[in-house]
Structure 1
Amino acid sequence: MTEQSGARRRQARGRARIEQILQAAADVFGEGGYEAATTNAIAARAGISPGSLYQFFANKDEIGRALADMYAARLRGLEIFDDFSADALDDSLRAILDRLVTFNIDHPGFKALFARSDMPASMREAVAPVHEAIEQRVRTATALVIPGADDERVATIATVVLSMVRGVVPAIAAAEDPDARRALATELHRGILAYLESARGRRG
């Protein structure tokens, strides 16, 4: 084995170990929340010693930031809003919510980092770009739904929609009964659709 190939193998093992730690952290964050999680719990879930974990991450905040970056990249790849159409609001809204629910189910740690507004100060900077990107996309979609609305009204409506999503999507993802999950998703869709249609029908 050459020195170069050995280095590549070590790098590959390092990447695999990082992914292992991040997956464990996602599970631990998702089950008990960010504040209650510890590096010891994450290491135990990953099946490694705390010392092995500290070879890659100095503390829990570093793990959280790395996980936030990973989620941000995956959300960008998901292109949740790319086919949004104000003329087909019902179908567009359903598709967006389906993608968000699926993402939350597939990424159990997401809600601990993004589905809340009271993140610890140490993590706010890490999650802020994703929050801002999502909020901007919702504002853009809202402006299409309510043409002619001023920026302040668009921002207010977008904030209400985001609050509804952040409040209910984690409950949908956490529901183990498929019927309960569908019922919650249906009611969220109906609630947001009715709100947006009402807002679209009002002037000023």
Structure 2
Amino acid sequence: MTHTGAIQPRRTPRQIRSQRRVARILDAAIHVFAQRGYGAATTTAIAEQADVSVGSLYQFFPNKEAILYALSERFDASFFAWLDGALTADEGRRSTEEWINAFFEALAVMDRQHPGLFRVLAHAYTSPEFVRAERHFNAQVARRVLALLTSRVPHLPAGQLEVVAAVCVEVTHALVHLASTSEDTASDVTFEARRVLRAYLSVVSTEPGRQGGGAGPTVHNPTGGPSS
């Protein structure tokens, strides 16, 4: 992703000691954001939680928005490392249902590794920069889902498959967001999300493909780059 404006870090850590310090700052930020809320959190509180000086924090991040963006990028890198590894190792061995279960289990593992991160990201994506980053992330996931679907639903035309991949990603993203902001019903929402995906893909895989597309507005490049 491209950093712009207020979310641009001051510098990238190159030494191992600096990398560890940045990781500590990011871990502390999750805790502070989750405890206080993004709006009430301060860089001073994050520095105290990380046991570093505010000056040390400012060496890497100009403000809390840049810290949040770095958290988002760290999650993206971790998720894509899992997804690409899973796709490489799959070779057609997993069923669609096994893929859905593996996907949600991977999210659960990441949530356990960084408690509160999903909730923090769900509540804080408000600026145009974050919206663009979110759209870019979804587009990258949709490209990978498209590659997976192409070999599993070969009877569908390429254009329809692109839309199906985008729908899978957007629906899942919306339901994960809902689960992240509704702690009391999070497990129920996640269960229903799995069921929605299973039902949708079951219908898609058994129905004949549409030639020339269906009725409704045209979807332009659903798996392309970030929308403006």
TM-score by length of 2: 0.65
Indicate whether 1:131 and 2:135 are aligned. Answer: no
Partner of 1:91: 98
Q: SS in structure 2 opposite 1:55?
A: helix
Alignment CA distance shift 1:86-1:12 (3 Å): closer
Corresponding residue pairs, total: 191
Q: Residue 169 of structure 1: which of 176, 179, 183 is its match?
A: 176
* Alpha-carbon distance, 1:37 to partner: 4.4
- After TM superposition, the structure 1 = structure 2 runs for residues 53-202 of structure 1, keeping only pairs within 5 Å, are 53-79=57-83, 81-82=86-87, 83=90, 85=92, 88-107=95-114, 108-110=116-118, 112-113=120-121, 119-124=126-131, 130-170=137-177, 172=179, 183-202=188-207
Distance 1:195 1:32, change over 3 A: farther
> Could you tell me whether the CA contact under 8 Å between 1:84 and 1:92 is conserved in 2?
no
- Per the TM alignment, residue 195 of structure 1 is displaced from its structure 2 partner at its CA by 0.7
Aligned to 2:223: none
Distance verdict in 2 for CA 1:119–1:201, change over 3 Å: farther
Which amino acid letter does the alignment assign opposite residue 29 of structure 2? A
Task: Identify the residue that residue 4 of structure 1 maps to in structure 2.
Answer: none
Structure-2 change in CA distance of 1:91 and 1:36 (3 Å): same
**SS of aligned partner of 2:155:** coil
| Distance change in 2, residues 1:140/1:38 (3 Å) | farther
* Alpha-carbon distance change, 64 to 181 in structure 1, aligned in 2, over 3 angstroms: closer
Is the CA contact 2:153–2:205 (under 8 Å) kept in the aligned structure 1? yes
What is residue 224 of structure 2 aligned with on the other side?
none
Distance 1:157 1:84 in 2: 21
Q: List runs of 5+ in structure 2 lacking aligned partners.
A: 1-14, 211-228
Contact in 1 for aligned 2:22/2:60 (Cα 8 Å) = yes
CA shift for structure 1 position 119 = 4.6
TM-score by length of 1: 0.71
Q: What is the aligned counterpart of 2:22 among 15, 18, 21?
A: 18
**Is 1:45 matched with 2:17?**
no
Where 2:60 maps in the other structure, the secondary structure is coil
Cα shift at 1:157:
1.9
Distance change >3 Å, CA 12–CA 98, structure 1 → 2: closer
Q: Please tell me whether the aligned partners of residues 139 and 154 of structure 1 are also in contact (alpha carbons under 8 angstroms).
A: yes
Q: What is the CA–CA distance in structure 2 between the aligned matches of 1:102 and 1:29, rounded to whole Å?
A: 20
Evaluate the alpha carbon distance shift between residue 188 and residue 127 of structure 1 in structure 2; reply closer, same or farther with a 3 A threshold.
closer
- Contact map agreement 1:143 1:154 (CA 8 A) in 2: yes
Deviations 1:10-67 (A, max 9, x none): x444333211111112334455665664423422432444333212222223323432
* Percent of aligned pairs sharing the same letter: 28
Structure 2 CA distance for partners of 1:112 and 1:166, relative to 1, 3 Å: farther
Give 1:153 shift. 2.0
Unaligned residue ranges in structure 1 (runs of 5+): 1-10
Q: CA RMSD in A?
A: 3.5
Q: Does the CA contact (< 8 Å) of 2:33 and 2:41 recur in 1?
A: yes
